[in-house]
Structure 1
Amino acid sequence: MNDLRKEFENYMQDRCVSSCETEEDTYEYPDYVEAINAELMPPVKSGVYISRWDLKMVGDAIDASIAMDSRARMYKMLMRSVHNKETMGQLLGAFSSLIDAKTEAYREMMENYPSSAPIFEDKIQKAERVKAYFDEVLNTYFPEE
């Protein structure tokens, strides 16, 4: 049995079979990528959950073809397609529309279940704050030329 184990270990070393190799992302992302990510992606900060399908729909809205992957990778792939103020404006507009659609469901819940209003009001306020932050990002990182 020990011979079999040694033979297997030698085979593994010869074939260099190890755990999955990780692909490190060496792309240099601008500062606004992390700034938007920090405000938009965590539901506790933005008041809404941005799913992988939501990211795919936002990508389709700006003609950026992104593959289904983890949310973090999809977000970064989406941001790679932004090269100018116009594209960034379209992207932030698509995110704003998505946030509006999600907060509309919150408003309906507030109407149907008035006792839940404080919970949903907090989420709506966070979502509105993020939308206002989009304008700030656009003006800060893409100033008028």
Structure 2
Amino acid sequence: MDGDVRVTDRWTVPAAELRERFSRSSGPGGQGVNTADTRVELSFDLAGSASLPESLRTRALERLAGRLVDGVLTITASEHRAQLANREAARERLAGLLREAIAPPPPPRRPTRPSRGAKERRLAEKKRQSQRKRDRRVDGE
């Protein structure tokens, strides 16, 4: 691991554009939890990134708008006891988020109508259901 984060085959975030902060983590670790800075905060300046093409940056900024603070995306990882494992987890999570954010939008939905067979099946099922409920009645209506 050289520090770069591979997002797609064509785009890798250089390590120079990432900022890591370490702090004390809650959770497992026994007595060592009070001394080891295992929690990792990985920050990536999405708005100011030079490695991301402009069209993809616009799409990512739009989709991640709720997670960004001044154009910076921050990922926190503290699920592992080892700092190295948390660093790796944070990088994987960052890559996954960015991969999702720059993915092309799905093709627009083409509206379709139900077929005649589908309509007939639906109506037949409605008749069966109403007959079933009519048969359950006590008053014989």
Using structure 1 for the length normalisation, give the TM-score.
0.27
Question: Which one has the bigger strand percentage?
Answer: 2
Question: Which one has the bigger helix percentage?
Answer: 1
**Larger CA Rg, structure 1 vs 2:** 2
Using structure 2 for the length normalisation, give the TM-score.
0.28
